[in-house]
Chain A
Amino acid sequence: GENVEQHPSTLSVQEGDSAVIKCTYSDSASNYFPWYKQELGKGPQLIIDIRSNVGEKKDQRIAVTLNKTAKHFSLHITETQPEDSAVYFCAATATNAGKSTFGDGTTLTVKP
């Protein structure tokens, strides 16, 4: 089955700096790669996603890149703010199989 590895497990940055979280996947059938943000006491919330026919996608301060050949994708957050502090999860999905495999999460702390 699919295996998703996410790094780093914890990340601490100063407010205004950039943060990068990386994930690798194993199943070449995976074609949808969402990123979720989970704040304390809440369920995960989709923040950005990318499909396998696209190499990069950007939404304001957040961007995701995908390298299908290398089977890895990354989340980039620029100009970080304290409210970006949360746990971030990547996931790899083979949409025809109905399963999403999540990474173990990255705890991001943005220091004011």
Chain B
Amino acid sequence: DSGVTQTPKHLITATGQRVTLRCSPRSGDLSVYWYQQSLDQGLQFLIQYYNGEERAKGNILERFSAQQFPDLHSELNLSSLELGDSALYFCASSPRLVSDEQFFGPGTRLTVL
């Protein structure tokens, strides 16, 4: 158990809908990262937050957005969902701003029908 929690574990929704994925980092970790893992593919970095502020951006679609709250939990919002958005979404946390060792949560499996 990494200490990172993600909810929900599974999410099934329809095209065009909007969903919110939630992540709670390890106690004391200030950085949160979001990744997308599509079927048979590697991890694609989406975005990083540090202590409430956006710090780095990867290949995140404009339909996706994220935020980190004062209690350091983070939410990833996915809107206007398409079939191709079906994937595992992982959250990871690390203690500092620089992205050294990251601790991954168990992921949220999103299925868009």
Contact = CB atoms under 8 A, between A and B. Distances in A.
A50 to B, nearest CB: 11
B56 A34 contact: no
B42 A100 contact: no
Contacts, number: 64
Contacts of A41: 106
Contact of A34 (B33, B90, B101, B105): B101
Given A43-B90, A43-B106, A98 B2 contact: no
A99 B56 contact: yes
Given A43-B106, A44-B90, A89-B42, A97 B56 contact: yes
B104 A44 contact: yes
Nearest to A51: B100
A102 B45 CA distance: 8
Interface residues of A, number: 25
Interface of A, helix, strand, loop or mixed by DSSP: strand
B90 A98 contact: no
A75 to B, nearest CB: 15
B27 interface: no
Interface in B37-87: 41-45, 48, 50, 55-56, 58
Contacts of A102: 42-45
A105 B104 CA distance: 16
B104 A43 contact: yes
Closest 3 CB pairs of A and B: A98-B56, A43-B104, A95-B98
